[in-house]
Amino acid sequence: MKMIRYSMIILLALAIPVMLPAQEPTAPVPEAAPAEPSTSFSPEEILEAWGWYLAQQIDLAGLALDESEISALSVGMLAASRGEQPKVDLEKIAPFVQDYLTARSESILAEKSTVGKSAEAAYFAELESNSDIIKLASGLCYEVIEAGSGAYPSPEDVVVVHYTGKLLDGSVFDSSVPRGEPSSFQLNQVIPGWTQGLQKISVGGTIKLYIPADLAYGDAGRPGIPPASTLIFDIELLEVKAAIPPAASAPGMP
């Protein structure tokens, strides 16, 4: 989770450029078409938008503050906006602020992980009743939609695929399909669920992977993927290429 850096955010906010009037043209220019009526905003709307921007930049929502905590935060911001000096020594309180934010982040992460693991357990229990789905000892579940008729990939190979990744609620967090071109990954450089699952089909095949969090991004998650998230992938294996030399390989999404 992002740490709050007030000085950086204030400088960033103050750096919003002010539009200066353009110089007069030195030669006549063709008359421009009538401009669309500009949308106007009240000072209150502008300041509210600025406040939203500042809170979004410091990931205030990520701290899940309640009303009383937001009120306390507002008191400090109001005092600073009036040019008042802080009531405490900032150098002395800084370590306590850091400890508070760290503890808060860890607590929220733990709560989200608990929710994710509970949802995962219930979901995989349901999958066990589906005879088309195979479960490996690692916990990975998969369903072969089309086995394919070409080469099978090894962990060192590069796979060329089209894929769509979803969370348990059905929301798509990543997909190669809208981009209009497949993606390439070295199979031993992606999440373990992919490494294990894609070896179950050959070129031309399609597979559905049900990947538990510990074979994906674990308790940490990543942007767009909450902690302890089960991931569901629909993958079409288009091509298998020779392994990339170690010096040229690089981790990639997913």
Q: DSSP secondary structure string, 154-210?
A: -TTSEEEEEEEEE-TTS-EEEESTTTTS-EEEEGGGS-HHHHHHGGGS-TT-EEEEE
Residue 132, CA distances (Å) to 59, 129, 144 in order: 43, 9, 8
pLDDT at 39 over 90: no
Phi, psi of 209 (to 5 degrees): -110, 135
Report, as an integer, the average pLDDT of 227-247.
88
* Mean pLDDT across 207-216: 98
What CATH class is the domain 134-248? alpha beta
- Confidence tier at 35 by pLDDT (50, 70, 90): low
Cβ neighbors of 72 (< 8 A, separation 6 or more) are: none
- What's the average model confidence in pLDDT over 216-233? 94
Domain coordinates of the chain in residue numbers?
A: 134-248
Which pTM value belongs to this model? 0.69
**pLDDT digits over 127-181, tens only?**
999 999 999 999 999 999 999 999 999 999 999 999 999 999 999 999 999 999 9
| pLDDT at residue 244, as a whole number | 60
* CA–CA distance, 218 with 115 (Å, rounded to integer): 13
Q: Quick check: helix, strand or coil at residue 60?
A: helix
Out of 49-53, 60-64, 234-238, least confident range:
60-64
Q: Which pLDDT does position 13 carry in this prediction?
A: 42
Q: What does the alpha-carbon distance between residue 229 and residue 214 come to, in Å, rounded to a whole number?
A: 9
Integer Cα distance of 230 and 212 in angstroms: 5
User: pLDDT for 172-186, tens place per residue?
Assistant: 999 999 999 999 999
Span 64-93, pLDDT tens digits = 888 998 899 999 989 998 999 999 999 999
Catalytic residues: 163, 173-174, 191, 217, 233
pLDDT at 223: 86
